[in-house]
A and B are shown apart, each in its own frame.
Chain A
Amino acid sequence: MSTPRLEFRNVTKRFRSSKGAEPITAVSELSFTLADGEVVSLIGPSGCGKSTLLNMGSGLDPATEGQVFVDGQEVVSPNEHVAFMLQKDLLLPWRTIRENVEFGLEIRGRSGRERKETAYELLKKCRLGDFIEHYPHQLSGGMRQRAALARTLAVDPAVLLLDEPFSALDAQTKMVLQQDLGRTLADTGKTALFVTHDLVEAIALSDRVLVMSQRPGRIVEVIDIDIPDRGNPMERRKSPKLGPYVAQLMDLLHIGETIE
């Protein structure tokens, strides 16, 4: 077996509570791997440690115990193999869309020409070709989030960590962006770990869905999504297999049990 692209090996994360009392265990002895080119979703009740896991993966917040590996190399600090994207677009208002996309490349000291070329290419792909020199406040929420995706892709990371990137968007914009993301991930063959609250989104976009428990977060179930054409989430949404997967996830997350 080849080395996994991304591996969480027995990671535990504890946060010191402010009063110096019992530390909070956000995630506990959790292990999973992502193979190259795999897209995996993480779902679970809020506060179960999904964001915490992504932060560990990005190297910004190391695990208390255990290790994270990218291509077999331990992640101990931010590194060029991983890039993240959040629900907030985090675009800098004083930069044009192009300059925002160039942000990561600029920090890494790439030449102006190379940055510009990369930004143009990605913005065209993300259907923002007409807004290259606009400022973020001139764009809609969906367009801003597409720009954020372009910024994430610009640094050409091996692994994308996506933390509920579409949860602030309206239902239709969301579907369009899911389609963009699904196609981009399939085209580029990137590996992605995707956190979402939206069960259908998780199923439509991923090869596998990891279901987490209440805090301290553990993985309670791994569901392989056996629907063809991962690069086309719109079509996958229409698949008759989708319903049973949603039902299964609802059961696992105990959604609706208290309503009866």
Chain B
Amino acid sequence: MSSEPSISATRRMTIGSVLLFIVFLAAWEWLPEALGVPQFIIPKASRVWEESLRMWSRDRLLFHTGITAMQVLVGFLLGMLLGMLVGFVLGMSPTTEFVLSPYILALQIAPKVAFAPLFVMWFGYTVYPKILVAVLIVFFPVMINVLGAVRAIDPDIVRLARSFKASRVQIFRKIQFPASLPPFFAGLRIAATLAVIGVVVGELVGGNTGLGYLLTFGEGSGNTAMVFVAIIMLTLVGIVLYGAIVLIENRVLHWLPSRARTA
């Protein structure tokens, strides 16, 4: 038995998932109606599609999606860099981690989205509160994973490098940094979905831009289809970010034994 699926098996699976998608769309279009569910509870697929076209031309759907995507991306990148930095510093300095651990734990347990109203009070109806929530929410999974990875390095590997007279910088560049990458990317995958949540909550709390704003607007005007469109667009933003991470990860971590790579 071969462990890798053959070409034809892969093709069969692709055809299978396309068929499933068509079935799903068809069910969405006709099933609620057949069961007597009104359109203001679940609008038809075609109705949602029409609404998205209307929003595209009338409600600047692209603009709002762009704003949300930008906030997600900036928040994600900043949170990622910060998480990485703090993860490395704490990983290399057990004393610092010991001193800071109660605060880190408290902040980790605190629901990050609860900070959204506070940030809106601080920065007003701007992009900053949304980005800040995203930074905060992305920070933890990245930081924890990098910290854990640095801690998990076999001290004998570091000793080996030191026996070759490696400098502190060399040990970082040649051992600690590459060793942290697999958990780092695992953290990024989690962070990608969280970043979208952070930004949306920020937008729900205040402001008049972004998909979160369109969500509240649709809700306020009883336009269920609009809410559906906003949810779909948010999902797409998340998928694009997640996909980009997986793509980069596959390039960077090509050396991982394939069984250790989660699809």
Contacts and interface: CB of A to CB of B under 8 A. Distances in A.
Do A and B associate with each other?
Answer: yes
B156 A108 contact: no
Interface stretch (A88-96, A176-184, A208-216, A252-260): A88-96
Given A90-B154, A107-B170, A78 B255 contact: no
A224 interface: no
A80 interface: yes
B11 interface: no
A90 B165 contact: no
B156 A80 contact: no
A83 B257 CA distance: 29
A92 B156 contact: no
Contacts of A135: 255, 257
Interface in B155-181: 156-157, 159-166, 170, 174-175, 178-179, 181
A137 B254 CA distance: 12
Interface in A128-155: 135, 137, 155
Nearest to A91: B157
B156 A107 contact: no
Contacts of A108: 164-165
A78 B165 contact: yes
A58 B154 contact: no
Contacts of A60: 159, 162-163
B235 to A, nearest CB: 33
B251 to A, nearest CB: 13
**Which of B164, B178, B257 has most A Cβ within 10 Å?**
B164
Interface string B178-216: 110100000000000000000000000000000000000
Contacts of B156: 86, 88, 90
A166 interface: no
Interface in A21-71: 58-60
A93 B175 CA distance: 10
A258 to B, nearest CB: 33
A90 B157 contact: yes
A249 interface: no
A107 B157 contact: no
The range of chain B's interface size is 20 to 34
Given A78-B162, A78-B164, A78-B165, A107 B174 contact: yes
Given A58-B163, A82-B163, A84-B163, A137 B257 contact: yes
Given A90-B154, A90-B157, A78 B175 contact: no
Nearest to B159: A60
Contacts of A78: 162-165
A165 interface: no
A94 B157 CA distance: 13
A52 to B, nearest CB: 13
Contacts of A164: none
Contacts of A229: none
Contacts of A80: 165
A92 B157 contact: yes
Interface string A71-111: 00000001110111010101011110000000110111000
A113 to B, nearest CB: 19
A230 to B, nearest CB: 26
A90 B179 CA distance: 13
30 contacts: A58-B163, A59-B163, A60-B159, A60-B162, A78-B164, A78-B165, A79-B165, A80-B165, A82-B163, A83-B163, A83-B164, A88-B154, A88-B156, A90-B154, A90-B157, A90-B160, A92-B174, A92-B175, A92-B178, A94-B178, A94-B181, A94-B253, A103-B161, A103-B164, A106-B174, A107-B164, A107-B165, A107-B170, A108-B164, A135-B255
Closest 5 CB pairs of A and B: A104-B164, A107-B164, A137-B257, A107-B166, A94-B255
